[in-house]
Amino acid sequence: MELKDKVAIVTGGGRGAGEGIARVMAREGARLAVVDLNLENARRVANSIDPTGTRAIAIHADVSRKADAEAMVAETMRAFGTVDILVNNAGIEGPPVLLQDLAEEQWDRVMGVNAKGVLLCCQAVLPTMIARMRGKIVNIDSIAGIRMTFFGSIDYTASKHAVTGLTRHLAWEVADHGINVNAVCPGGILTPLMEQSTRPEMRDAIVKRVVPLGRFCKIEEIGEAASFLSSERANMITGQLLAVDGGVLTGYGEDLRSVLRQRMEDRNALEH
């Protein structure tokens, strides 16, 4: 077990990729703080990993709030004594819209969670990592942070480019404290939310057109990448972006604007 007795915080750990990350890290021996805006989701995951609460606890936090980020770290420290790993997974996506229709409130909300949330959680955890001269930070970025999203809107692309820049810059800042900072950049992940918000035939069409390996990523596969970057096997890796995308970035040559417009229509149909 490559993370035996390490203490890891996983934000957005109550469902989707965050749940996959938490489960893989628990399998690898980590003690976990499963953090989520929805406390019941966090409790469900933590209890399924460890109903005794000795190896997994649930914490409620809104990562876009500084006080919540600081309280998240303090509660983890009280439970386990330290923090070795921070996985900044919490993220949101607004309804897909074109720039001229993008509301200021949506921009602020997406940037607040996806970009500011990563910043605040890093700020909260760094004092204990710097004091111990070691630590691993893994930011769950996106291929949208390397190129762009063809599945969402410009606010999501901008927020993930912010994560990319933060990852690279922070890796440089804290390297002399023995802290590694890297990012996992998923392509499409088959989460319950994706299944609810898209039609199967649309997902199949996208996979055939843009994913060389022929399928979307499983949530546990994001966990495998995050676990590796959190382990001693990655001690000489920092400031890097690890794409877990089935080969999407090898291509991307099609004009997929029609896909975005179709998703907007599907979303509107579901909401009405």
Whichever domain contains 62, its CATH number is 3.40.50.720
Average pLDDT over residues 201-227: 89
How confident is the prediction for the chain on average, in pLDDT? 93
pLDDT of residue 58 exceeding 70, the answer is yes
By the 8 A CB rule, do 7 and 130 touch? Answer: no
pLDDT of residue 272 exceeding 70, the answer is no
Average pLDDT over residues 32-50: 97
The answer as to whether 82 is a domain residue is yes
The answer as to whether 268 is a domain residue is no
The answer as to whether 79 is a domain residue is yes
Mean pLDDT lowest among 31-40, 195-204, 244-253 = 195-204
The pLDDT of residue 177 is 98
Average pLDDT over residues 173-188: 96
The pLDDT of residue 8 is 98
The answer as to whether 206 is a domain residue is no
The residues annotated with a catalytic role in the active site are 156
Over pLDDT 70: what percentage of the chain? 96
The answer as to whether 142 is a domain residue is yes
Mean pLDDT lowest among 70-79, 170-179, 202-211 = 202-211
The answer as to whether 240 is a domain residue is yes
Cα gap 236→248, rounded to integer Å: 26
The pLDDT of residue 252 is 55
| pLDDT tens, residue by residue, 65-115 | 999 999 999 999 999 999 999 999 999 999 889 999 999 999 999 999 999
The answer as to whether 64 is a domain residue is yes
pTM of model > 0.85: yes
The answer as to whether 263 is a domain residue is no
109 lies in which domain range? 7-190+217-247
Question: How many domains, in total, are found in the chain?
Answer: 1
The dihedral through the CA atoms of 43, 47, 48, 49 has a sign that is positive
